[in-house]
Amino acid sequence: MTLENLSRNKSFGGWHQQHNHHASSLNCKMRFAIYLPPQATAGTKVPVLYWLSGLTCTDENFMQKAGAHRIAAELGIAIVAPDTSPRGKEVADDPEGAYDLGKGAGFYVNATQPPWQSHYQMYDYVVQELPALIEAQFPVSGRRSIAGHSMGGHGALIIAIRNPEHYQSVSAFSPISNPMNCPWGQKAFSAYLGPQEDTWRQYDASELMRTANRFVPALVDQGEADNFLHTELKPETLLTAAQTSGYPLQLRRHEGYDHSYYFIASFIDEHLRFHRTHLKS
């Protein structure tokens, strides 16, 4: 539970901080960022939105590019952004240096295959270890929502669907909706989880949503000009799965928007207001 503070910057009356800590689930040192709104610094325990970033990202991408601090300060929501994978010299990485496997590409699963299984337990880290740390060390309540982008949108969806008792709402920008059936997901799942597709289904949002019987309100935004739309993201499979189970999914498609943080910054206010509605209720 020992934290090492790396940075602290005032923003919209609250504080953005970066911390290192030893993550027992990942067997390495991890960095995360937290934005504490003014309400938290005044002594009130505030709810938390966990943000999961996409391939190649760290905790910094969302905090620096999304423009979320202003609305989080207005609504009284803390934001926690972990890194996207384990880090360190001892942590396995893709031997060819590919961006879609290894460091920066943890895919929010619990790896079962060597050499990945000793560090790549991102699912346990996000679901169990990190919230326990945040709730013990910062003025936050136990009310949580979760969101993410691309690979992180995949992570947010699977975590919320599998743990509806822990999250009030979930949202995603351009999520990898059906990783079992796209190149990014197939590469990562083969490496981290092995060849058994029954294991893959535990980490596929479309497969999970299709058979869900407990629900978390879900909002997904997808840009129509996204270069990865048809090959990697496949939002139509998620929509079909939601229609099958009756899952409360709102899927919005936006003409002209791509996969970048320009898209996220354009709609992040609406996502935070969506989460605030459910965090209050």
Please name every residue paired with 24 in a beta bridge, in sequence order, or none if there are none: none
Model's pTM, two decimal places? 0.97
Among 25, 85, 145, 150, the active-site one is 150
CATH class of the domain defined by 4-280: alpha beta
What pLDDT does residue 43 have?
A: 81
| Residue 52 banded pLDDT, cuts 50, 70, 90 | very high
What pLDDT does residue 265 have?
A: 98
The domain locations on the chain are 4-280
Q: Is 150 a catalytic residue?
A: yes
Please state, in angstroms and rounded to a whole number, the distance separating the CA atoms of residues 64 and 61: 6
What pLDDT does residue 227 have?
A: 98
DSSP H stretches of helix in the chain: 38-41, 60-65, 69-75, 122-124, 130-137, 151-162, 183-193, 197-201, 205-210, 235-245, 261-280
Among 16, 119, 154, 259, the active-site one is 259
| Pick from 170, 164, 162, 192: nearest CA to 179 | 192
Per mean pLDDT, which range of 24-33, 39-48, 118-127, 253-262 is the poorest? 39-48
Q: Is 226 a catalytic residue?
A: yes
| Pick from 227, 125, 231: nearest CA to 177 | 231
First vs last Cα of the chain: how many Å apart?
31
Span 99-157, pLDDT tens digits: 999 999 999 999 999 999 999 999 999 999 999 999 999 999 999 999 999 999 999 99
Q: Supply the mean pLDDT for the chain.
A: 97
Contact 59, 53 (CB under 8 A): yes
By the 10 Å C-beta count (0-12 exposed, 13-18 middle, 19+ buried), 139 is classed as middle
| Pick from 245, 269, 78, 76: nearest CA to 173 | 269
Among 174, 226, 275, 278, the active-site one is 226
Take residue 236 and report the two structure tokens written for it.
């139509």
DSSP string, 52-84: E--TT--THHHHHHS--HHHHHHHT-EEEEE-S
| Residue 41 banded pLDDT, cuts 50, 70, 90 | confident
